[in-house]
Amino acid sequence: MNRGITIGRIFGIRINIDWSWLLIFALITWNLSTLFMETHPGWTLAAQWGLALVAAVLFFLSVLAHELAHSLMARAQGIPVLSITLFLFGGVSNIQREPPSPRAEFLITIVGPLTSIVLGGLLILVGSFALPTLSPEALNNPSGLAAQLSPLATILLWLGPVNLVLGVFNLIPGFPLDGGRLLRSLLWAITDNLRQATRWASWVGQGVAWLLIFAGIAMVFGLELPLFGTGLSGLWLVLIGWFLSTAAVQSYRQVVVQDILEDVPVSQLMRRNPPTVPGSVTIATLVHEHLMHSDEHAFPVVEDGRLLGLVTLEDVRKISRDQWETTLVRDVMTPAAALTTLSPPKDASEALQKLQQRDVRQLPVLENGRLAGLLRRRDILKWLQLQGTE
């Protein structure tokens, strides 16, 4: 989720926009401006486009309000939240841990759709006050009715229902959507087993996803569905269904992996006494004496028992062959100060998170400032295979 831009912070939570969000922004602006051209031919072109743009920004703020509700409730339950990312299908709060209890999960989840639905209701209420007194002819002619709406009423009466849809759509019981999370919190409360509850919620999520996909395909082939209609717009349902299905499978896997690694200390999985190299040897020595004679891709650089840095196959690749004899390991390594390190008693699920965040294959493990071992991705993978997760 690192593709995109950070636009600022609210309550210390970083707000990111994924590039795919810009597509939705453009689509909304385009759709609305075309709609305004039909319903309000009297407005200037600048007003039609300007209002469409304002509406798109307000939609953005609506999704943000929904996510902020989740994030602030998570924080109130003692779970740190780093960031919120808005992307093609809405928003996602980067909540750092699974909730500690079914109650916490229920509360963190329910406030999102509640915010959207209450906001939607309020906007419609205010919008209906902003309605003009209508002439009897206008009431008999819906398009004439729309033309009489002021810009303010137009926006409010668009944004209100949109927020209602946002709240209701999220209540679909497809994990990891809000509805799926609510379902999981209930199953969790009943079974007292997070992994079991997640598995069932994930199955329901996949079921719902496939239902959407089949409904979408049926619409493309001409079936008329209540609420959704018919025709090519069914492709949207297929897309959303496919997205939900992938998300359901992935989030289940994530929970299983976290569950398995949670109580395992790093010291149990790491490679102890990994082969090391001194910083003063040349790249040629590193390659011929160390890299080629082991299956390691990375070597801690150690002198007098102190970790100086880490040198990897990728570092060597950046040096052209004719400079191998003259370049020293300490000149190409990542210095210790720039490395993320682990300590032996830390739990392995945290270690995996760090490996993924830094996008590296291994992390050095330090004990009292001295190298105790090396934890590699494949060590974690081996442990997961032993537990038979796949």
The residues of the shown chain that bind Zn ion, judged by CB under 5 A, are: 112, 170, 178
Q: Which helix (H) or strand (E) holds 85?
A: strand 81-87
- Tokens (6 digits) for 377: 């991705």
Question: What's the closest the beta carbon of residue 140 comes to Zn ion, in angstroms?
Answer: 41
- Give whole-number Cα distances, 39 to 20, 44, 142, 189, in Å: 29, 12, 10, 51
What whole-number distance in Å separates Cα of residue 261 and Cα of residue 264? 5
Question: What's the closest the beta carbon of residue 27 comes to Zn ion, in angstroms?
Answer: 21
Question: What's the closest the beta carbon of residue 207 comes to Zn ion, in angstroms?
Answer: 20
Amino acid at position 32, single letter:
L
Question: What's the closest the beta carbon of residue 374 comes to Zn ion, in angstroms?
Answer: 40
Contact 304, 370 (CB under 8 A): no
Q: Beta 13-17 vs 81-87: how paired, if at all? A: parallel
Place of tokens 């949207």: 236
Nearest residue (beta carbon) to Zn ion: 112
Question: What's the closest the beta carbon of residue 180 comes to Zn ion, in angstroms?
Answer: 10
Instruction: Mention every residue, 6+ apart, whose C-beta is less than 8 A from residue 367.
Output: 343, 344
Contact 91, 64 (CB under 8 A): yes
Question: What's the closest the beta carbon of residue 99 comes to Zn ion, in angstroms?
Answer: 14
- Tokens (6 digits) for 103: 């109650």
Name the residue nearer to Zn ion (CB basis): 112 or 241: 112
Name the residue nearer to Zn ion (CB basis): 112 or 300: 112
CA 226, 230, 233 angle in degrees (round to 5)?
115
